[in-house]
Amino acid sequence: MYLLSGDGNLELIAPLLSERAEATPLSATDNPWIKIHSIIKELTNKTINSNRPCTFFIDTNPSFAIYTQLAIAGGDKLLVPINADDSSIFAITGLFNLIWGTSVSHPVYGKYTFSSKAKNHDLKLPKISFLLGNRFTQKKGAAHAFKALSNEAVNKMFSEFKSNPDKFENPESDINNVDDFEKSYSIELRDFNSAGVVAANQGIPLSKMNRHTYEVYGEKIQVAKEQRDLCKQTIEGLVSKL
C-alpha cells in the first residue's frame, strides 16, 4: 500500500491553483483548466512498481473546493458516505448539482460552475458506485432513528437514479423499485466506536489490534475483541463489494 499524505500548506496554494485554472489560454492547444484539473488524474496514470493492478482511493474535502474538483476529475467511481442526519440527505441534491449541474442552468452564474466547464471541456466524470450509510450506533433505539434517516437518503438517491441513471455505475441486476436500488447501491456501515478511535490514533489496522486496552492521550481505552471482530467483518464486507 502506498500512501500520499496531505499537508496543511496545500491550503495556502489553493487560490493559486484556482487562478491558474482560469488563466487565459496562450495558444489554441493550451488548456489551463484541463491542465490543473488533471493533476491527480496524471498522478494515478503514472506507473507504480507493482506486478499487480493498482487501485487508488482519494479522500475528498466535504466542501467543493479546488482540491475536491481535482479529486472528482481524477476518479472513475464515487463512494458517497451519508451520515445519519438531515444535512446529508439535503447534500445529495448538492452533490448532483455541483458535479453534473442543475437541470436548468443559472442564466448568470451557470457558465462559471465546475459542471458547465467540465462539459465544455469534454471532461469525463466518475459515476456513483455505492452509497455508504455511516451508522452512528447499533443500540436498538438509535438504530431505528438511523434507519429512518437512512431510508430517506436511499429514497432521495433512488429519485436521482430514476432521473439520471447515467450518473450511476451499471447495476448487476435490473432495478424496478427502491428495494432493488438499495440492494444494488446501498451499504450500511457500523459505528467503530473505541476501535476506530484507537486505530486512527495509534496508526494500527484493526487486523493488528490484539490488546484489550490502549492508551490514548493518557487515557486507558478498552476495546473488546467482539467489537474489533464486528468492525473487521464490516470492512471485509465492504472491500469484497469494492
pLDDT digits (tens, 9 = 90+) for 140-178: 444 666 667 777 888 888 999 998 899 999 988 899 999
Question: Could you give the strand order of the β-sheet that contains 127-134, starting from the edge strand earlier in sequence?
Answer: 77-83, 127-134, 186-189
Output the nine-digit C-alpha cell for 4: 500520499
Q: Please say if the pLDDT value at position 10 is more than 70.
A: yes
pTM: 0.81
Q: In terms of residues, how long is the chain?
A: 242
Contact 136, 156 (CB under 8 A): no
Range with the largest mean pLDDT of 12-21, 107-116, 130-139: 12-21
Structure confidence at residue 15 (pLDDT): 93
Average pLDDT over residues 54-62: 86
Map residue 59 onto helix, strand or coil: coil
74-107 in b/e form (b: 16+ CB < 10 A) is bbeebbbebbbeeebbebbeebbebbbbeeeeee
Contact 206, 238 (CB under 8 A): no
Average pLDDT over residues 64-71: 92
Q: Please say if the pLDDT value at position 78 is more than 90.
A: yes
Q: Could you tell me the pLDDT band of residue 208, with boundaries at 50, 70 and 90?
A: confident
Q: Could you tell me the pLDDT band of residue 90, with boundaries at 50, 70 and 90?
A: confident
Residues whose CB is less than 8 angstroms from the CB of residue 88 and which lie 6 or more positions away in sequence, other chains included: 81, 82, 149, 153
Q: Please say if the pLDDT value at position 11 is more than 50.
A: yes
Determine the residue type at 232. K
* Angstrom distance (rounded) from CA 139 to CA 88: 21
Closest listed residue to residue 101, CA positions, set 89, 118, 86: 118
Mean pLDDT of the chain: 85
Q: Please say if the pLDDT value at position 70 is more than 90.
A: yes
Output the nine-digit C-alpha cell for 123: 471532461
